[in-house]
Amino acid sequence: MKLKYMTLQNIATLNDIERAYQLIQSYVHKTPVLKSELINKLLGCSVQFKCENFQKVGAFKYRGATHAILRLSDAEKSNGVTTHSSGNHAGALAKAASLQGIDAYIVMPKNAPKVKVEAVKSYGGIITFCEPTLEARETTLKKVQEETGATFIHPYDNFNVICGQGTACLELYDQVAEPDYVFAPVGGGGLLSGTSIVAKSIWQNTKVIAGEPKNADDAYQSFNTHELVPAVHPNSIADGLLTSLSDLTFGIIQKYVDEIITVSEEEIIEAMKLVYQYLKIVIEPSSAVPFAAVIKNKARFQNKSIVIIVSGGNVDLAQLPF
Binding site for its own copies (CB under 8 A): 32, 34, 37-38, 53-54, 56, 58, 122, 273, 276-277, 279-283, 313, 317-318, 320, 322
Total Cβ atoms within 10 A of residue 282: 18
Closest CB to its own copies among 263 and 315? 315
In the bound complex, what is the minimum distance in angstroms from residue 283's beta carbon to its own copies? 8
> What are the distances in angstroms from CA 212 to CA 85, 121, 161, 170, 241?
20, 30, 21, 22, 7
In the bound complex, what is the minimum distance in angstroms from residue 276's beta carbon to its own copies? 5
Closest CB to its own copies among 138 and 316? 316
In the bound complex, what is the minimum distance in angstroms from residue 54's beta carbon to its own copies? 6
> What are the distances in angstroms from CA 15 to CA 68, 162, 202, 231?
16, 13, 11, 32
Decide: helix, strand or coil at residue 288: helix
Closest CB to its own copies among 37 and 74? 37
Q: Which residues contact 29 (CB under 8 A, 6 or more apart)?
A: 54, 55, 56
Closest CB to its own copies among 134 and 318? 318
> What are the distances in angstroms from CA 77 to CA 84, 106, 144, 188?
18, 15, 15, 26
In terms of Cα–Cα distance, which of 146, 65, 140, 154 is closest to 110? 140
Q: Which helix (H) or strand (E) holds 39?
A: helix 37-43
In the bound complex, what is the minimum distance in angstroms from residue 117's beta carbon to its own copies? 15
In the bound complex, what is the minimum distance in angstroms from residue 30's beta carbon to its own copies? 12
In the bound complex, what is the minimum distance in angstroms from residue 99's beta carbon to its own copies? 11
Alpha-carbon 266 to chain mean position: 22
Closest CB to its own copies among 212 and 284? 284
Closest CB to its own copies among 212 and 270? 270
In the bound complex, what is the minimum distance in angstroms from residue 31's beta carbon to its own copies? 10
Q: Which residues contact 303 (CB under 8 A, 6 or more apart)?
A: 44, 45
Total Cβ atoms within 10 A of residue 115: 13
Total Cβ atoms within 10 A of residue 40: 16
Closest CB to its own copies among 290 and 313? 313
